[in-house]
């Protein structure tokens, strides 16, 4: 109906419904300040939000409108939420999501809720071809499918428990001699030398050593507190006395670097904190006690908090340094950072320490895992003297 104004009768604009199937871009909201809509980039359009976690993909927020990519199905977001609710590790999340995505592609991008026993069995059977993948990968794929149907889709597959798990080969760990360990450590320099010393001198895993913070090392008690180790368990292990002087010098160097980062502004000098500690202690990311013992050379910008942070040293850098040092030392055995942990346990057994003490230092849940190192007590093939030596 026409509306009357001071200038006479005027017609109101038509408010017609859009045609079915037509996409309509909502107009941007009016604002009292800022540039006009025509001057704004992507005005009235959906904009992909930046990732808020450098190590994990962001989960959809209920208060934000996110343009979804057709290649990123909503099901994977549900999988990530279920995994993070149960506090699964980052690597487990990435592995499970990758296997579920592979399962969906194997079945022609059909939703898993529409698949039945034949499709699931066909996918698992395709992984059982000899020479295609290891037994650990097959068991991991099976665990991912069981998690998808049991915890995400709410479908209990009773028959899947009857499937035979791939048998993992029983392999003995590669162990270096004492002279080989010393030669390897002599070829390492800088921070890599200290990391290698912690792996061999304290029996740490590689990521356990790289995740150490200033507050986790007690130089007076010669003790290392391993936080959130494998299985999300804490434990204490020994700090070698020979490492105390280089560790003290290293801490002095990175403290100078941290003070330099703090001088650049209030948003610099921060690190990532576990879980929700940042909300509970807002100033903790910039405190000295929470800094990494082995910080990365470069910093990065964290978009969610606006902070310029430093991550810890990447594990691939240590792996590469150990491989180069092993070749330089002339060690013919396949040597990785984990080989130093194997050597730590083996040499303690040779020195007469009991198996329970070594189990606690290594952080093994079951003593049977530690028993694999007892092979060193049977010198020369289970302690048998060869008839050729008589």
Task: Name residue, tokens 């320490």.
Answer: 353
Identified catalytic residue from 338, 347, 356, 365: 338
Q: In the annotation, is 111 catalytic? A: no
Q: Give a three-class secondary structure readout of 267-335.
A: CEEECCCCCCHHHHCCCHHHCHHHCECCEEEEEEEECCCCEEEEEECCHHHHHHHHHHHHHHCCCCCCC
- Examine the residue annotation and report whether 353 is marked as an active-site residue of this protein: no
Q: Which residues contact 261 (CB under 8 A, 6 or more apart)?
A: 268, 269, 299, 308, 310
78 noted as active-site residue? no
Given 94, 146, 230, 375, which residue is catalytic? 230
Q: Return the DSSP state at 168.
A: P
Instruction: Please confirm, yes or no, whether 338 is among the known catalytic residues.
Output: yes
Of the residues 80, 101, 341, 342, only one is catalytic, namely: 341
C-beta separation of 241 from 384 below 8 A: no
Please tell me which residue in 80, 101, 205, 309 is annotated as part of the active site. Answer: 205
How do beta strands 307-312 and 268-270 pair? parallel
Query: Can 302 be counted among the known catalytic residues?
Result: no
Which helix or strand (DSSP H or E) is residue 361 part of?
A: helix 355-362
Q: To which residue do tokens 């230092």 refer?
A: 361
Q: Which of 96, 192, 200, 373 is catalytic?
A: 373
Q: Which of 314, 312, 265, 313 is nearest to 286 (CA)?
A: 265
State whether residue 223 is helix, strand or coil: strand
Measure the CA–CA gap between 265 and 269, rounded to whole angstroms.
Answer: 8
Q: Is 364 one of the annotated active-site residues of the chain?
A: yes
DSSP 213: B
- Tokens 């100033």 correspond to 283
Residue 224 parent element (H or E): strand 223-226
**Integer CA distances (angstroms), 222 to 52, 202, 229, 339, in order:** 38, 10, 19, 23
Residues identified as active-site: 205, 230, 338, 341, 364, 373
């Amino acid at each position: 109906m026409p509306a009357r104004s001071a200038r006479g009768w005027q017609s109101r604009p038509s408010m017609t419904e859009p045609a079915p199937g037509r996409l309509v871009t909502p107009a941007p909201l009016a604002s009292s300040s800022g540039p006009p809509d025509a001057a704004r980039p992507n005005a009235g359009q959906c904009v992909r939000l930046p990732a808020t976690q450098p190590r994990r993909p962001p989960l959809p927020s209920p208060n934000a409108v996110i343009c979804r990519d057709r290649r990123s199905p909503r099901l994977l977001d549900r999988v990530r939420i279920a995994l993070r609710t149960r506090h699964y590790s980052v690597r487990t999340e990435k592995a499970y999501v990758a296997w579920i995505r592979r399962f969906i592609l194997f079945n022609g991008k059909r939703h898993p809720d529409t698949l039945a026993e034949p499709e699931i069995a066909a996918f698992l059977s395709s992984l059982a071809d000899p020479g295609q993948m290891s037994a650990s990968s097959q068991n991991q794929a099976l665990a991912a499918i069981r998690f998808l149907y049991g915890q995400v889709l709410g479908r209990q597959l009773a028959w899947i428990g009857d499937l035979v798990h791939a048998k993992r080969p029983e392999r003995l760990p590669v162990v270096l001699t004492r002279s080989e360990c010393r030669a390897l450590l002599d070829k390492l320099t800088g921070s890599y030398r200290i990391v290698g010393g912690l792996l061999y001198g304290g029996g740490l895993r590689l990521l356990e050593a790289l995740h150490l913070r200033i507050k986790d090392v007690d130089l007076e008690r010669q003790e290392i507190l391993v936080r959130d180790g494998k299985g999300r368990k804490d434990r204490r292990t020994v700090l070698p006395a020979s490492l105390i002087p280089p560790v003290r010098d290293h801490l002095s160097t990175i403290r100078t670097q941290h003070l330099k980062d703090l001088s650049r502004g209030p948003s610099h000098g921060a690190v990532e904190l576990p879980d929700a500690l940042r909300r509970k202690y807002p100033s903790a990311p910039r405190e000295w006690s929470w800094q990494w013992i082995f910080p990365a050379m470069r910093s990065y910008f964290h978009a969610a908090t606006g902070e310029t942070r430093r991550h810890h040293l990447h594990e691939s850098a240590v792996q590469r340094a150990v491989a180069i040092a092993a070749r330089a030392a002339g060690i013919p055995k396949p040597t990785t950072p984990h080989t130093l942990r194997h050597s730590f346990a083996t040499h303690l057994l040779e020195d007469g320490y009991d198996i329970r003490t070594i189990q606690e230092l290594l952080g093994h849940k079951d003593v049977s895992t530690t028993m694999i190192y007892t092979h060193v007590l049977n010198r020369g093939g289970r302690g048998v003297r060869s008839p050729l030596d008589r």
